[in-house]
């Protein structure tokens, strides 16, 4: 009995080794199938082209097999970088550089608001409680609450961002972009002169406040006249900056909508070609078990949100592939039957 038990154990171990070896052979065959099918997709989708001899391919198809799940193919195509025709990293770099130029103006010429509370406290001790005190206080509030530099800076930033977007989308050329940037710089110079005038007014107001006593007469009218002159000069500059920003923003938005519509058409053509290839050459995945799936992950072609651009994913089971191979299912029907989502 002991000898028979030993034989049974030996046979069991041998069967286990043969099972592992058979499984290994199946996996090797699966790997070859994936490589073959990936090559067909790369060639058929024209992802094997280069911009130059030493340039990388413009796309790729990489596959993996997950037991009891199936084959997963990641498809990287030029569409991932052409949804907007510009690189976001390049665009943001340009915008940061431009914003830095604009903010230099604010950093060097920005008006620091006076310490209104301290001024009020000092005035309460030194000024007679009179209409002059209230008028002076209201005027200080008005100067303090104004921030023309920030308002113009925001308008110029929007205009610059839209101009760069239009340029990258091919709606304006280099000369037009440079002309728009020249306008932005001219506006910066104009508003800078007025900011200097406001800074001088603020300095004079502070000096007057320090010298106040019960017998001091406040020439508020002179201060107000200076202020009104500055405002009259600033307002058309601000209005023009806002108008330019609104116009360029509208043009950029329209251009982006047109580009998105064009891109969606390119995506539809790409997927139509992809499913035609899957339908025609799905036999390469004949080793895929009947209860498993083919998952196509189109990198960066899914929905967009604030944090990232999602992948577009299509899931097909083995029976769908067989129906297409046998001619009972067309490539368009195969595409319609796929489980499709973004993640």
Domain boundaries, the chain: 29-76+286-342, 88-259
Give the N- to C-terminal CA distance of the chain in Å, as an integer.
60
Identify any residues that bridge with 295 across adjacent strands, giving them in sequence order. 72, 315
109 vs 210: which has the higher pLDDT: 210
Tell whether the model's pLDDT for residue 70 goes beyond 60. Answer: yes
| CA 176 – CA 87 distance, rounded (Å) | 20
Q: What value does the mean pLDDT take over residues 280-294? A: 91
Contact 269, 78 (CB under 8 A): no
Most confident of 13-17, 179-183, 213-217: 179-183
Q: Is 1 helix (H, G, I), strand (E, B) or coil?
A: coil
Judge whether residue 54 has pLDDT over 60: no
Q: Cα 106 from chain centroid?
A: 26
Asked if 241 contacts 187 with a C-beta cutoff of 8 angstroms, the reply is yes
User: Mean pLDDT throughout 307-323?
Assistant: 91
pTM for this one?
0.65
């Amino acid at each position: 009995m002991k000898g028979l038990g030993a034989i049974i154990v030996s046979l069991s171990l041998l069967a286990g080794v043969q099972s592992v070896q058979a499984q290994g052979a199946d996996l090797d065959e699966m790997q070859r199938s994936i490589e073959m099918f990936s090559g067909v997709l790369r060639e058929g989708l024209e992802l094997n082209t280069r911009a130059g001899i030493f340039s990388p391919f413009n796309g790729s198809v990489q596959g993996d097999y997950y037991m009891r799940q199936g084959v997963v193919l990641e498809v990287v195509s030029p569409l991932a970088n052409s949804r907007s025709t510009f690189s976001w990293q390049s665009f943001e770099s340009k915008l940061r550089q431009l914003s830095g130029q604009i903010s230099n103006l604010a950093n060097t010429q920005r008006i620091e608001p006076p310490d209104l509370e301290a001024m009020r406290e000092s005035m309460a001790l030194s000024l007679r409680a009179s209409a002059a005190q209230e008028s002076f206080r209201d005027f200080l509030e008005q100067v303090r609450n104004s921030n023309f530099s920030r308002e113009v800076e925001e308008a110029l930033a929007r205009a610059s961002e839209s101009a760069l977007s239009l340029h990258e989308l091919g709606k304006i050329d280099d000369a037009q972009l440079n002309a728009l940037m020249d306008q932005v710089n001219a506006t910066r110079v104009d508003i800078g002169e007025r900011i200097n005038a406001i800074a001088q007014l603020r300095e004079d107001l502070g000096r007057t406040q320090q010298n106040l006593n019960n017998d001091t007469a406040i020439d508020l009218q002179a201060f107000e006249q200076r202020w009104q002159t500055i405002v009259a000069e600033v307002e058309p500059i601000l209005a023009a900056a806002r108008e330019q920003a609104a116009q360029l923003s509208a043009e950029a938005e329209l251009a982006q909508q047109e580009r998105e519509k064009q891109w969606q058409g390119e995506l539809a053509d790409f997927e139509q070609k992809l499913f035609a290839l899957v339908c025609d050459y799905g036999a390469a995945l004949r080793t895929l078990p009947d209860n498993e799936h083919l998952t196509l992950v189109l990198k960066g072609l899914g929905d967009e949100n604030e944090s990232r651009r999602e992948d577009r994913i299509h899931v097909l089971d083995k029976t769908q592939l067989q129906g297409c191979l046998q001619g009972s299912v067309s490539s368009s029907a195969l595409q319609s039957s796929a489980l499709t989502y973004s993640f």
